[in-house]
Amino acid sequence: MGKVLAVCRSEKKGIQKKDIGEAFFQEDYGMVGDAHAGKWHRQVSLLSYDKIAEFKARGAQVEHGAFGENLVVEGIDFRHLPVGTHLHCGEVLLEMTQIGKECHQGCVIFQQMGDCIMPREGVFARVLHGGTIKVGDEMHVGE
């Protein structure tokens, strides 16, 4: 079981997301109001809080949403779950579709740190059943 620590959104692609506390996740679309939502396999991005904390311990000055993640979750190591894993958060059901991604050209975090965790640690999911996710919600792995 994990706990949602941040729900982040950006209205334009290529900028860092901001923690908005809660959002509605629409079936087969993603987070309503987020620039990356749409009918594709990367509707929602997730990062494990522990990986962000490790990166910050190396001197990175990053806030929730800095890596472009929609959800920051403590207590689940997403990278070690297989594609196809179901994630339940209240009434929302997500299905993991991709692990990692290539950083876009000129990633600010990579320029500052010489590294970025999103290509290794970030995962993506599509929304199978919609609903609201808010900070403090529990997330469960599995059927």
Q: Strand runs (DSSP E) across the chain, as ranges?
A: 2-9, 18-19, 22-26, 30-31, 44-48, 71-74, 86-89, 92-99, 123-129, 131-134, 138-141
Q: pLDDT of 75-102, one tens digit each?
A: 999 989 999 999 999 999 999 999 887 6
Return the percentage of the chain with pLDDT > 70, whole number: 87
| Phi, psi of 7, deg, nearest 5 | -125, 110
pLDDT tens by residue, 99-127: 887 666 556 666 666 666 676 778 999 99
Q: How many residues comprise the chain?
A: 143
Average the pLDDT over each of 60-64, 71-75, 118-122 and give the range with the smallest value: 118-122
Residue 11, pLDDT > 80, answer yes
User: What domains are there in the chain, each with its CATH number?
Assistant: 2-9+19-134 (2.40.33.20)
Question: How buried is residue 84: exposed, middle or buried, by Cβ count under 10 Å (0-12/13-18/19+)?
Answer: exposed
